[in-house]
Amino acid sequence: MKKHDTKIGYACMNMDSYPASFQTCRIQNITEEKLYEMIENNILVLENMIDYNIKHNNYMYRISSSLIPFGSSPLNTLDWKHIFRDDFKRIKNKIKHGNMRVSCHPGQYTVINSPSEDVVEASIMELEYHTDLMELLSGNKNHKMILHVGGVYGDKDASIDRFIDVYHKLSPRVKKYLVIENDDRSYTVEDVLYISSQVSVPVIFDNLHHDINPSLQNLHMQEIITKVVKTWREEDGKVKMHYSQQDPGKRKGAHSETIDLALFCEDYKNIYSLYPIDIMLEVKDKNRSFKKVDLLLNPNQRTLEVEWASYKYLVMSKSIASYNQLREMFKNNPKVDVLEFYSIIDATLKLDPSIGNQVNALEHVWGYFKKIATEKEKMQFFKKLQALKDGKIKDTHMIKFTRSLAEKYEVTYLLESYFLSI
């Protein structure tokens, strides 16, 4: 099925690298000292995620705008580009040698076609800040910065004209990375293609936005994608698209918890596999869905077994039947079917947790500590386990405690288990 060496990526957050939370602060208590500490932490978080990506053969990743708190604002007076230059250089090298493609995505406040001059000015500052990130971390023109067109203000033609005017005034360093994306409310693929035809900026196609805010309905999907593909030039690198699926329970446009792999498979076969493209996934479970899609496109039994090991206790904490079913599946089977594996995983993870199953999984986990934990830790563990059974503490508390033991004794197998991820 794989035809074009498609790279799969995910955005900003990673559920399974530690530490993994970006720090920020309230505007009232900004100090340079605070900014220094937060940025130092955030760079470490970013580096952990880059390391994770390299270890897991992930070649595409969106850098979070949260890396530098108030990064585009005059309120941030710290000379962070200079202070952390060595760190940026080190991470840039990792990205380069890992053959990774990074991107960034200024948020909904970046509106360069606003009628308000102040808003346009702040938006340009935001683009300059994101361009700083691109330069500090890649410097490669095929690493992209994705922007939406902006507001409509009751007159789309005039608003598109304003976008084009401001685009012409952007600095060359910003234009080097900038690409535009169709959104789920105002600017359709047709609108974005029109702007592209005027200023020759590449277009990112977002499938879910297109479903919600359609255009060019007289064309086949393949004709639309062909038009999009043509907006990219050689030096922009491979065409990039955004792929997401609707969360069935939530409002229109809400990203699903995880990728429905069978559905992805169908979309990929019918459309995306026909083009040389890279696909950025927008999905809540981030790196885990990256792994699913990666395994679908590049089946590898060894990697699948490692993945099964990561899910094992989480599955056990939901359903013994599923656990046994999966265990049987891997037994004496040198080629487990990826779609089948994940269909069981996904169905199991949707089940409501039961205390009994959780306690059972925790008892299995305890096996790793049996010989190494202190008497005191043993007491604590079983006391908490009883409290969990009695409904006196929450499962998250118990899991955090167990994770801290795994960290203390450096039990790699458990640290890589999704059951103990926070």
Partner DNA sequence: CACCGTCAAGTCGCA
Partner DNA sequence: TGCGACTTGACGGTG
Residue closer to DNA, measured from CB, 98 or 253 = 253
Residue closer to DNA, measured from CB, 247 or 416 = 247
User: Nearest approach, Cβ of 274 to DNA (angstroms)?
Assistant: 26
Residue closer to DNA, measured from CB, 27 or 379 = 27
Residue closer to DNA, measured from CB, 108 or 412 = 108
CB atoms within 10 A of CB 95: 22
- The H or E element that residue 102 is part of is strand 101-104
Residue 180's DSSP bridge partners are 147, 203
User: Nearest approach, Cβ of 59 to DNA (angstroms)?
Assistant: 19
User: Nearest approach, Cβ of 256 to DNA (angstroms)?
Assistant: 11
User: Nearest approach, Cβ of 403 to DNA (angstroms)?
Assistant: 13
Residue closer to DNA, measured from CB, 229 or 420 = 420
Q: Which two tokens stand for residue 126?
A: 């935001």
Alpha carbons 196 and 200: distance in angstroms, whole number: 5
Q: Dihedrals φ, ψ of 280, to 5°?
A: -95, 120
Three-state secondary structure call for residue 181: strand
User: Nearest approach, Cβ of 206 to DNA (angstroms)?
Assistant: 10
Query: Which bin fits 101, alpha (ψ -120 to 50), beta or left (φ > 0)?
Result: beta
**Residues in contact with DNA by the rule CB under 7 A:** 11-13, 20-29, 65, 69-73, 75, 107-109, 111, 114-116, 118-119, 122, 126, 150-153, 185-186, 250-251, 253-255, 282, 284, 394, 397
User: Nearest approach, Cβ of 262 to DNA (angstroms)?
Assistant: 23
Residue closer to DNA, measured from CB, 25 or 274 = 25
Q: Which two tokens stand for residue 261?
A: 């792999």
Q: CB–CB of 72/128 below 8 Å?
A: yes
Alpha carbons 31 and 76: distance in angstroms, whole number: 9
Q: What angle do CA 275, 280, 283 make, to 5 degrees?
A: 130
